Amino acid sequence: NETINKIAAGEVIVRPISVIKELVENAIDAESTRISVAVEKGGKTSICVTDNGVGIAYNEVPLAFKRHATSKILKIEDLESIDTLGFRGEALSSISAIARVRITTKTAEEEIGSQSFFEGGTFINQRVCTYDRGTEIMVTDLFYNTPARQKHLQKDKNEEKLIRDILEKLSLSHPEISFTYSSDGREVFKTLGTGNLKDVIESLYGRDFFKGLRELDVENSPMRLRGYISDLTLTRSTREEQIFFINNRFVKNKSLSRAFEDAYEGYMMVHKHPVGIVFMDLPGRMLDVNIHPAKTEIQILNESLVSILFKQGIRDCLKAQNLVVDV
């Protein structure tokens, strides 16, 4: 059983961001309004995720770390539901199979909280302790018992950059949650949790970022687009600042990037790649939700249609702005 867990863990937990993504998604599912993430050495030494969500009751902690244990109803009707699928009850068991885990938690109904330890897939012990409502999960010594996996990790700095990237995306798609991220004892960013996308962008990239952006809010039925896009002055030599979400889930998709850039064709720009933080709403039937849980990519069923709708929507927004066209 321990071996099975280790194999399953290897499939889904490949680096620190895999742990962080799962723990933060659990915290989001737990109705938290404040989530903080602290890592040391790019997550290799420790990862700590703290939330103020519903917590886990004393008796249910060991169960939550069992494989295929989930308290969530699996409903694959539309894309929204994919957000609560997580690892289908595999995340906590997978993480505890390849690291040391300490969980401190308390529900609103309990008088007192609990602290439990897991190591290499084994439940070590549990005791009661005082704690505010919510959950703190501390993961240390990631991959201590799977040296092959450990060898594949990148330099601390690179792992840290990946963590920052994914936390930025999670923060952007949840403006209603206040995220704090610190690395090696230093606060990297903190979002306010006001529910306003603009506030999140300002917390992440600074107020000056908006100087080169225009607000996007167009409907090209059945697609709706919201967010901020480059007004031509803010362009980059890479696509790193093209951040797209479909139904509030981050997507990395070459056709969408191409469609986005095609919309800028004929405009005067210094660099090739315009910047954009774009939230796209689409009917669930246009997407495929049957993807591997470890993947972030969403399958768009009719990619060329979606790309055309996207390009037209962005183009409409640009046209309405009277921007300088190439002659």
> Which residues of this chain interact with ligand ADP, rule CB under 6 A?
22, 26-27, 30, 51, 53-56, 64, 69-72, 86-92, 135
Residue 309 touches which member of Mg ion, ligand ADP, none, C-beta under 5-8 Å by kind: none
Q: How far is the CB of 101 from ligand ADP (least distance, A)?
A: 11
Binding site for Mg ion (CB under 5 A): 26, 86, 91
Partner whose footprint covers residue 54, from ligand ADP, Mg ion, none (CB < 5 to 8 Å by kind): ligand ADP
Residue number with CB closer to ligand ADP (14 or 69): 69
Rounded distance between C-alpha atoms, residue 223 and residue 246, angstroms: 10
- Beta carbon of residue 49, minimum distance to ligand ADP (angstroms, whole number): 7
Pick one of ligand ADP, Mg ion, none as the site partner of residue 33 (Cβ within 5 to 8 A by kind): none
Closer CB to Mg ion, 86 or 134, in the complex: 86
The one-letter code for the residue type at 219 is E
Minimum CB–partner distance for residue 48 and ligand ADP (Å)? 12
Q: How far apart are CA 153 and CA 131, in angstroms?
A: 34
Task: Tell me how far apart the alpha carbons of residues 36 and 182 are, in angstroms, rounded to a whole number.
Answer: 8
Nearer to ligand ADP (CB atom), residue 99 or residue 306: 99
Choose between 67 and 149: whose C-beta lies nearer to ligand ADP. 67
Looking at beta carbons only, is 29 or 141 nearer to Mg ion?
Answer: 29
Residues whose CB falls within 8 Å of the CB of residue 292, separated by 6 or more in sequence, listed in order? none
- From the list ligand ADP, Mg ion, none, pick the one residue 61 interacts with, judged by a Cβ distance below 5 to 8 Å according to partner type: none
Residue with tokens 């890592």: 39
